[in-house]
Amino acid sequence: MQATVPSRVITGVVLPRSTAATASLIAGFALLTALAAQIRIPLPFTPVPITGQTFAVLLAGAALGSFAGAASQALYVLLGAVGLPFYAGGTSGWTVATGATGGYLVGFIVAAWVVGALAERQQDRTIATAVPAFLLGSVVIHLFGVPWLAATLDVGWTEAAGLGSVPFIPGDLAKIAVAGLLLPAAWRLTRRTRSL
């Protein structure tokens, strides 16, 4: 992992670039994801709840860049796996980490890396480029979550998509829209502040 957040992402511009600052940001976004996981709406037909986690994952990647963003999600997954009540609804442990929703947790790490890599290429600075970047991050989460869910429940991929992907598309689109507005606005504010 790189020692500092890259200067091409928003936190690398507005905060001091140091190993200590990067470590604090990684821990902070892991905690933000844990907090977002407590926003939980269970659905009676699936083991996958609606949560705020994916929003935190997208923000982590865009704000921290690829390596630090992925590291924040890896730390989140690790802390939940070792017993801290960080997963959805305050759950934790190895059984949860490897259970039906385990693929989404792995997807968080990869999605944060993907969104972070796009942010390092300035894809988070306008709505027109930020929304597709966040959309790709959300797709990555589903690409890991649905096959894992299918294998865990021993169902076909179509049924797994009906349980763990299709019902979440409207909520994901709303999170993508908010993140797609938030990051470009943060960049505009940063540029305006620095020009004063």
CATH number at residue 139: 1.10.1760.20
pLDDT tens, residue order, the chain (196 aa): 467 888 899 999 998 889 999 999 999 999 999 999 999 999 999 999 999 999 999 999 999 999 999 999 999 999 999 999 999 999 999 999 999 999 999 999 999 999 999 999 999 999 999 999 999 999 999 999 999 999 999 999 999 999 999 999 999 999 999 999 999 999 999 988 876 4
Which ranges in the chain belong to alpha helices (H)? 10-14, 19-37, 53-64, 66-81, 94-97, 102-120, 127-153, 157-164, 169-195
Q: Is residue 181 part of a domain?
A: yes
Alpha carbon dihedral 94, 67, 122, 196, in 10-degree steps, equals: 100
pLDDT given at position 75? 98
Q: Is the pTM of this model over 0.85?
A: yes
pLDDT given at position 195? 63
Q: Is residue 195 part of a domain?
A: no
Longest CA–CA separation in the chain, Å: 59
pLDDT given at position 7? 87
For residue 128, the one-letter residue type is A
Q: Is residue 67 part of a domain?
A: yes
Q: Is residue 7 part of a domain?
A: no
Q: Is residue 2 part of a domain?
A: no
Host domain of residue 173: 17-189
**Number of separate domains in the chain:** 1
Q: Is residue 12 part of a domain?
A: no
